[in-house]
Structure 1
Amino acid sequence: EVLDGGFEDFLARKWSSEKRFGLEGCEVLIPALKTIIDKSSAGGIDSVIMGMPHRGRLNVLANVIRKDLNQIFCQFDPNLEAADEGSGDVKYHLGMYHERINRETDKNITLSLMANPSHLEAVDPVVQGKTKAEQFYRGDRAGKKVMSILMHGDAAFAGQGVVYETFHLSELPSYTTHGTIHVVVNNQIGFTTDPRVARSSPYPTDVARVVNAPIFHVNADDPEAVMYVCLVAAEWRSVFNKDVVIDLVCYRRFGHNEMDEPIFTQPLMYKQIRQQEHVLKKYSRKLIAEGAVTLQEFEEEIAKYDKICEEAYTSSKDEKILHIRHWLDSPWPEFFTSTGEPQSMSCPPTGLDEEVLQHIGRTASSVPLQDFKVHPGLSRILRSRADLVTSRQLDWALGEYMAFGSLLKDGVHVRLSGQDVERGTFSHRHHVLHHQEVDKQTCVPMNHLWPNQAPYTVCNSSLSEYGVLGFELGFAMANPNALILWEAQFGDFHNTAQCIIDQFISSGQAKWVRNNGIVLLLPHGMEGMGPEHSSARPERFLQMSNDDPDHIPEFVGDFEVQQLHDSNWIMVNCTTPANYCHVLRRQILLPFRKPLIIFTPKSLLRHPEARSSFDDLTEGTTFRRLIADDGLANRCPGDVKRIIFCTGKVFYDLTKERKLHHMENDVIIIRLEQISPFPFDLVRVELDKYPNAELVWCQEEHKNMGYYDYVRPRFLAVVANRKPIWYVGRDPAAAPATGNKSTHINELKRFMETAFNLSTFHGRNI
């Protein structure tokens, strides 16, 4: 193998003032990766999924994955216009998917490099999730066909906690990828930070000892030693199906990027680096001295590669438009049209046949295995479910069962992952039944619904949010025809996975044209449980929604579907089990994929009024983005004095208070079930219906949190600023909830009274 420094030299000559995060100082990474892939291909692997930080990414794309050089070079043209939706990302963040023949083995191999932001190790669990999904859908139960390679920088590998979280997934039954090869590009420096202040361990790779992975430290200036280590690592992974780490001890010839001056902070180190002979020169001199190659052969190889680059550079000038779709890391060719557009722009009804509802209900309230002893308390829960089914009623757990079970019937794989999801944090789900007298004997009734159903995967995760959410995101990338859900133990805890949400979920389509249908279930609601068990921080998700608050879209075609298509993600807070079921089914029946954030309930899981009839789920029914008031006041709309809009659990507090004050004739209560994208069309219908009513937004969250800042300008856009929208709810605060139960009750009482005091707001615009 010729060590590939030629690519970096070429880029340096052509674009001397551009950041590219070149590989100079660790050029050996390219033949190292090739060796791992060649050896793995010989062992039967035909798909390799890779993740890496930005250093050396362009070189890996060019010389390992074999992306067309002109496509890489055209990324450097500042005048190129983006042809596809979304802005794309900087060239050293983009990914790639490519199928080619492996020259060493003459076998087909598919190489996928995942797009990754500057949050260096964030891609680690994403790669593992996508690898696991490919193994799952191909029936590769031992990882003999699909594998992952993760590349790291030394400082990030030692410093980023998600590395540890990812290692801890490596041997868990529902998360293992049967061995990952980790390659650390050990620059011996992190940006400007010396190892002596960057980590407490002797080696940056010591974190891998937590799973007893073998760690090979090798001099990156000794290519033959590196190749030997790579062969051993590939064989280790093939034989033992466990993680292995290669520590390429190298250096960084230039600064953190090509514009950075490293000698300010590491003067002695960089004086030595500048005297360090390039590995290509050093190794070629050795080969020439041994007679393995001649000087002429060496120079011809260098010239040949330079000519290839020059020709690609010339042809890249013909590119007028940048197609981000050329950089897709997870294409879904059968899901979209050839141009990448949805097959249609409509969504069929999400209702279900009565017999399907009855069959799922019977299974959900039974134990399918004989002689399987469940806990007496669980027997009571199952009997209660059976009574609900007999009366054609649904609670929250049954609504979820209906959604999952019906999708499984249609061949859609469902995977639910997170902390304690098998039982459910609030002991409502019970998707895995445990034999009370036989250890490790369990029953998953959802997998006993239909003879040829898709499999249902429900798995308690490790106590991780960042790593596990990243994993599920990667899993959802592999197959559009699967419902992949991650549930936070409490919605509040998603903030330890904020990096995945910000970098991949909210903006993934804009940056990388990466559709993803992952569902986040975030338990949310103010019930006096304190500041860490109340709020899923809906304001953070809403702030990142891309719909324009001041612009009402045209209500043409299938407005609901078009609006969803134009949004970066969807946010709902359902108040009925039927609507929850519908929105989960809609997620799969839509002709495209968007992330779905569901603020799920806690107290409503068992609230006697939070029930639905089977009639709300039968054929022809659909998800209701807004639920209008069908009570007494609806009959005389001209007499209605106040419309209260709300979302989520507070609806039940409001209806209770309205009844207490005997104001059913005066006050209308309307639920926004889909908050974003905002249902402009349905809100307009409701406002036109009650011309004399004042407009109130009521939420249980504090004023600087929740939904108010998002919904207020949108309501005002609908009424064209002709009337104000009043706020009712808790006052602004720093913490999302009080920890004092009596304070919580007093706050609720105060804003409930305000909501129905019709003289409160006169003359005061909030």
Structure 2
Amino acid sequence: MKDFSYVTNSHPAYIESLYSDYTKDPTAVDPEWKKFFEGFDFATSKVNGNGSHVVATATAGKDATPINNDALAKEFNVYKMIRAYRKRAHLIADTNPIRPRKDRKPELNLNDFSLSDSDLNTEFHAGTFLGLGKAKLSDILTKLKKIYAGSIGIEYTYINEIEKCQWVQEHFEAIIQREFTIDERTRILEKINQGVIFEKFLHTKYIGQKRFGLDGGESTIAALDTIINESADAGVQEVVIGMAHRGRLNVLANTLGKTYEQIFSEFEGNMPPDMTMGSGDVKYHLGFNSNINTPAGKAVNVQLIPNPSHLEVVDPVVSGFARAKADILYNNEYDKVLPILIHGDSAVAGQGVIYELLQMSKLSGYATGGAIHFVINNQIGFTTDFDDARSADYCTSIAAMVQAPVLHVNGDDPEAVVRAASLAVAYRQKFNQDIFIDMVCYRRYGHNEGDEPKFTQPQLYALIDKHPNPREVYT
């Protein structure tokens, strides 16, 4: 993104002095400052919400009344605040459904920008940079919190390409404010219902059996539904999915359409040998292939690749499948094949295969046109809390290495998860590069349902025991 640090790091008095020079002779200041002041004047000359015009000093000539220095300084401070929210509000976004977030010193209070409560009713032209026109500080702050500090926190300002960064900003702000239709909400509820009821049945019928359930992360099903449907609308003809154990049975049933009869037969241990894909492997390692017809009438082939116990080793296999399909079947049209990699939070942060895959993802010999990485972040790795599992703030911090945007989203807000999925599809199809969704949720039971998590995480599981499932929260 365009680096405006020369503005945001400058003292207000210095900016005022430069602006004064600019109003007298626009060519007297550095070209970068000239561009910035031109943008500022454009903003202040736009029609405001009351239909009246504000005269821009630089274009009105030397007889125009200059903008008050204090007012100008505060305009820049509000602009700094808007920039800061876009960059750091992911640190305060409401993304954790179970417990309060850690204080990572985001410095987003009014006094961090030399503003105070007494300025809340003051109107600022800087609101134009948020699409509000001239607006009260209170309205600017409300919109910033709604977009950047709600159920989704976004990291994207490290992207160097201006076009890409602006595209993410514009589309993220638009998708956050879009209202869902009744039909869309019904579809989301249907997918959440499927995910919750499936896990409840297995936990009731097959007590103590290993299934690596999706309990607490059922919004994954709604996300995959959105990704598959919207990617098909965008021209994708094949989807290749790689994932570890967590939620695999649910995805097989409610995304790929593997019948309940087949899955339950595997629990009973009486599955015919010719239906295990020849692997003889356990049920939560098996793959599947199906043709799905989307609500819009598009046909898409979806393949879930078999995965062994090494959690993330399937990811380069998925990338290889996607690359081979695109090369051989679709004449190198990467838009036709979409790889989806579903990670666990501890695995994506801790396993070297993820780094290896990412660092090769933009090389001509290995590129797949971008993957959508979906992290089922249940905040615990077997028995290890995230504070003891990684040095980075986020399990997805590795994404910055390839300048991939990250959408951190609250798993208890299915609509927010669907918004993130929708943006991920649009970004991948537009730029053919990787994007991450970090869905923060929880694991209701033990690692594999056969262990008792309260022995190692008593405080966390005291909270989880009282917490309603995503369907109850949504309805």
Give the TM bin, normalised by the shorter chain.
0.5 to 0.7
2:202 to 3, 7, 11: 11
* Aligned equivalent of 1:322: none
Q: Which residue of 1 aligns with 2:252?
A: 61
Amino acid at match of 2:325: E
Amino acid corresponding to residue 198 of structure 1 in structure 2: A
Q: How does 1:392-541 map to 2 (within 5 A)?
A: none
CA contact (8 A) 2:359 2:402 kept: yes
CA displacement, residues 175-215 of structure 1 (integer Å, 9 cap, x when unaligned) = 10001000000011100011122111110000111101000
- Within 2, Cα distance between the matches of 1:80 and 1:226? 35
Report the counterpart of residue 271 of structure 1 in structure 2.
462
CA shift, 1:144, in A, is 1.4
Alignment of 1:48-197 (within 5 A): 48-80=239-271, 82-83=273-274, 88-102=280-294, 104-197=295-388
Q: Which has the greater radius of gyration?
A: 1
Determine if the alignment matches structure 1 residue 202 to structure 2 residue 393: yes
Shift of 1:16: 1.3
Rounded Cα–Cα distance in structure 2 between residues aligned with 1:90 and 1:176 = 32
Distance 2:399 2:384 in 1: 22
Answer yes or no: is the 8 Å Cα contact 1:21–1:256 preserved in 2.
yes
CA separation of 1:268 and 1:110: change in aligned 2, threshold 3 A: same
CA contact (8 A) 2:245 2:284 kept: yes
**Secondary structure of residue in 1 paired with 2:290:** strand
Match of 1:34 in 2: 225
CA distance in 1, matches of 2:376, 2:256: 18
Which SS does the other structure have where 1:93 is aligned? Answer: coil
Give the Cα–Cα distance (whole angstroms) in 2 for the partners of residues 167 and 139 of structure 1: 23
CA change 1:67–1:79 in 2 (3 A) is closer
**Could you list the per-position Cα deviations for residues 487-522 of structure 1 after superposition, in whole angstroms to 9, with x for gaps in the alignment?**
xxxxxxxxxxxxxxxxxxxxxxxxxxxxxxxxxxxx
Q: Spell out structure 1 runs of 4+ moving beyond 6 A.
A: none
Partner Cα distance (1:80, 1:213) in 2? 42
Mapped to 2, the partners of 1:235 and 1:60 lie a distance apart of 22
Q: Could you tell me which residue of structure 2 aligns to residue 246 of structure 1?
A: 437
Q: Which has the higher contact order (CA 8 A, sep 6+)?
A: 2
Q: Distance in 2 between matches of 1:21 and 1:231?
A: 27
Paired residue type of 2:358: F
Distance apart, 1:11 and its partner CA: 1.1
Taking the aligned partners of 2:313 and 2:366, their CA distance within structure 1 comes to: 17
What residue in structure 2 maps to residue 350 of structure 1?
none
- Cα distance change on mapping 1:29 and 1:233 into 2, 3 Å: same
Change (3 A) 1:188 1:95: same
Give TM-score scaled by structure 2 length: 0.58
Q: In structure 2, how many angstroms separate the alpha carbons of the residues matched to 1:86 and 1:182?
A: 29
- 2:289–2:304 contact (8 Å) kept in structure 1: yes
2:145 corresponds to: none
Amino acid at match of 1:7: F
Deviation at 1:78, TM superposition (A): 2.6
Tell me, which stretches of 5 or more residues in structure 1 are unaligned?
Answer: 285-766
CA contact (8 A) 2:341 2:374 kept: yes
Specify the SS of the correspondent of 1:9: helix
TM-aligned CA distance change 1:268 to 1:39, over 3 Å: same
> What CA distance in whole angstroms lies between the structure 2 residues aligned with 1:153 and 1:280?
22
Cα deviation for residue 105 of structure 1 reads 2.1
2:406 is the alignment partner of 1:215: yes
From the two aligned structures, give the one with the greater helix fraction.
2
Structure 1 CA distance for aligned equivalents of residues 327 and 293 of structure 2: 24
Aligned partners of 1:21 and 1:187: how far apart in 2? 12
Matched AA of 2:285: H
Superposition deviation, residue 141 in structure 1: 2.2
Q: What is the root-mean-square deviation in Å for CA atoms of aligned residues?
A: 1.4
TM-score (norm 1): 0.36
The gaps in structure 2 that reach 5 residues or longer are 1-187
